[in-house]
Amino acid sequence: MEFINVIIKYIPFFLPAAWMTLQITILGIIIGVLLGLVGAFLRISNKWWINAIAHIYIFVIRGTPLLLQLFIFFYVLRQTLSLDSLTAAFLALGIHNGAYITEIFRGSIQSIDHGQMEAARSLGMSYPRAMIRIILPQAFKRSIPPLGNQFIIALKDSSLASAITINEVLLQAQRLAAANYKMLEMLTIAAIFYLFYTSIFTWLVNHLEEWLNVDNK
Amino acid sequence: MLKIENLHKSFGDLQVLEGIELKVKKSEVVVIIGASGSGKSTLLRCINFLEYSDQGKIYIEGQLLNEKNEREINQMRARVGMVFQHFNLFPHKTVIENVMEGLTQVRKISKFEAKKIACHYIEKVDLTDKERVYPAKLSGGQKQRVAIARALAMEPVVMLFDEPTSALDPELVGEVLAVMKELAREGMTMVVVTHEMGFAREVADRVIFMDNGQILEAGTPEDIFDRPQNERSRAFLSAII
């Protein structure tokens, strides 16, 4: 009983940190989606040097730990670009997510049957118009499940920002536990917040899929 | 109307078309037959540049097409209707939206006008009751009729059919062929790649037999089906009829 009372008592102390977690996650996702869109188009280009840019981006970001990327932003780029820690955090998270989302978008664009592009072109549409009107709406729908997965990963990855002084849920748990010695309770509260967020994300993604699934009903 | 001169095409080492010469007059129905791999689909796809030929000239309504000129190719494609073996309807759009797409996006016709034109062609293929339905709900034959309406709505000068009934269940072939016969009767210029010999015999003004990337024989349906001159076409026809 004591355990639950402690948790209820301390939950309010987590609210600012929970808001921080949500902020860096959402900003990281938005930047990631934008970079992913650009990246996917670079990736499917038939010009090798445009392709190479996307390959190098994915190679570097996927091949190094997120913690290292956060450190680079916090210890190096923060000074040179005079960013605050929050900006450094969501830029690093966004660029990190972008590499994975690039591959998600590329995969779903390429999964659309080639006949769709041919049919659009045979009506006289230009390549960009066919992309926007015919391919992307279908590809976007197909990218929702893996994208939802990536969003949940992004949420949990945001905890790494605790290592660069961002006072999000996990860092808050550590700080409170350092003062009240109730490590298990504080970590449990942190876990509750993450589970709460992932449940909402999962629900949203599932419904988005349903709403967009009109054409197969 | 349509003139092809010395068309060559290869995929890597494989020579698919070897010097095709073909002229199609206005309102003529040309049916191309031949074994799979003979190059008949590739020939059709070269006409509206879904495949780029290696050599040769293509004229549509007297205009020599330059494959380097993207805009010119797009304009030409808007005037050449194409019907695919696998329909290629846009699954995220309803039947009427499928038919309107080229009108609003390519011919820049207002939505209101496009809707009227689309309704007209959907009625023509006898699918008025399916206007608001998504393609997933249609049978293969209905899908192909929508695809024909989509191409017709652009008011093309020539229609290309690439094995339009090959992916259909046998009992659905008839409804698609009926639409095509009707078109032919109205004087549409058509180039049809098909295995439907009955259709070829009944509707074609000219039948072309292709083998190994060449036109081996061309003539009226009677010439080709009743008196094939070439040994390969005799072998092919006796195998399928």
Q: Which residues of A touch B (CB under 8 A)?
A: 113, 115-116, 118-126, 129, 133-134, 137-138, 141, 214-217
The answer to whether A123 contacts B106, with C-beta atoms less than 8 Å apart, is: yes
B177's CB contacts (< 8 A; 6+ apart) are B165, B196, B199
For chain B, the residue count is 241
**Which pLDDT tens digit goes with each residue over A64-103?**
999 999 999 999 998 888 889 999 999 999 999 999 999 9
Residue A217 has pLDDT above 60, yes or no: no
- Residue B99 clears pLDDT 90, i.e. is over it: yes
- Partner residues linked to B18 by β-bridges: B8
Query: Is A76 inside any structural domain?
Result: yes
Determine whether the interchain pair A126/B70 forms a contact, defined as Cβ–Cβ distance below 8 Å: yes
Does a structural domain hold residue A59?
yes
Report yes or no on A112 lying in a domain. Answer: yes
The verdict on a CB contact (< 8 Å) between A121 and B77 is yes
Residue type, A11: I
Q: Using the CB atoms, write b or e for B105-115: b if 16+ within 10 Å.
A: bbbebeeeebb
Nearest chain A residue (CA) to B156: A123
Separation between Cα atoms, residue B41 and residue B85, nearest integer Å: 10
Contact A116 B150 (CB under 8 A): no
pLDDT of residue B194: 95
Give the pLDDT score at A124: 96
Whether residues A123 and B102 touch (CB distance < 8 A) is answered with yes
Domain containing A8: what range? 2-212
For chain B, give the mean pLDDT.
94
Look at residue A150 and tell me if it is in a domain: yes
Assess if residue A21 is contained within a domain: yes
Count of structural domains, chain A: 1
At A178-206, the pLDDT tens digits run 999 999 999 999 999 999 999 999 999 98
Q: pLDDT band for A209, please (50, 70, 90 cuts).
A: confident
Q: Which of B75, B82, B107 lies closest to A122 in CB terms? A: B82
Residues of A in contact with B42 (CB under 8 A): none
Query: Residue B147's closest CA among B111, B103, B95, B106?
Result: B95
Among A113, A122, A142, A214, the residue to mutate for chain B (most B Cβ within 10 A): A122
Contacts of A37 (CB under 8 A, 6+ apart): A105
Does A213 score more than 90 pLDDT?
A: no
Name the residue in chain A with its Cα closest to that of B47: A122
Q: What is the pLDDT of residue A42?
A: 95
Residue B90, Cβ density class (10 Å: 0-12 exposed, 13-18 middle, ≥19 buried): buried
Specify the CATH number for the domain of residue A92: 1.10.3720.10
Cα–Cα distance for residue pair B224/B215, rounded to 1 Å: 12
- Chain B CB contacts of A138 under 8 Å are 90-92
| pLDDT score of B196 | 93
Q: How many CB pairs lie under 8 A apart between chains A and B?
A: 76
Kindly state the average pLDDT of the residues A126-154: 94
Tens digits of per-residue pLDDT, B19-68?
Answer: 999 999 999 999 999 998 899 999 999 999 999 999 999 999 999 998 88
Per the CB < 8 Å rule, is A215 touching B82?
Answer: no
What count of Cα atoms within 13 Å lies in the side-chain half-sphere of residue B100?
A: 17
Residue type for position B178:
A
**Above 70 in pLDDT, residue B70?**
yes
State the smallest CA–CA distance between residue B62 and chain A in angstroms.
Answer: 19
Query: Of B208, B207, B201, B212, which is closest to residue B177 (Cα–Cα)?
Result: B201
Tally helices (H) and strands (E) across chain A: 11, 0
CA B158, distance to chain mean position in Å, is: 8
* Residue A61, both tokens: 């970001």
Could you tell me the pLDDT band of residue A216, with boundaries at 50, 70 and 90?
A: low
How far apart, in Å, are the Cα atoms of B210 and each of B9, B26, B30, B234, B241?
A: 14, 22, 13, 12, 17
Nearest-Cα residue of chain A relative to residue B73: A124
The whole-angstrom separation of Cα B25 and Cα A52 is 49
- Of A129, A109, A108, which Cα lies nearest the Cα of A119? A129
Residues of chain A contacting residue B118, judged by C-beta atoms under 8 Å apart: none
Residue A92 lies in a domain: yes
Q: Does B1 touch chain A (CB under 8 A)?
A: no
A122 and B80 in contact by Cβ < 8 A?
Answer: yes
pLDDT value for A215: 62
Within-domain flag for A217: no
pLDDT in tens, B158-214: 999 999 999 999 999 999 999 999 999 999 999 999 999 999 999 999 999 999 999
CA B177-B58-B27 angle, to 5 degrees, is 40
Question: How far apart, in whole angstroms, are the C-alpha atoms of residue B233 and residue B227?
Answer: 10
- Among B74, B101, B135, select the one facing A126 at the smallest CB separation: B74
Residues 6+ apart with CB under 8 A from B36: none
Structure tokens given for A83? 């960013």
Q: Is residue A113 in some structural domain? A: yes
Beta-carbon contacts of residue B193 (< 8 Å; ≥ 6 apart): B31, B32, B33, B40, B41, B43, B44, B161, B162, B163
d(CA A196, CA B173): 55
* ipTM computed for the complex: 0.93
Q: Quick one: pLDDT at residue B169?
A: 94
Query: Does A125 contact B90 at a Cβ distance shorter than 8 Å?
Result: no
Cβ proximity of B134 and B94 under 8 Å: yes
Which residues from chain B sit within 8 angstroms of residue A116, using beta carbons? Answer: 88, 90
* Residue pLDDT, tens place only, A16-52: 999 999 999 999 999 999 999 999 999 998 899 999 9
CB pair distance less than 8 Å for A137 and B92: yes
**Chain B residues in contact with A215 (beta carbon < 8 A):** 91-93, 134-136
Which residues of chain A make contact with B147, given a CB cutoff of 8 A? Answer: 119
Instruction: Say what the pLDDT of residue A214 is.
Output: 58
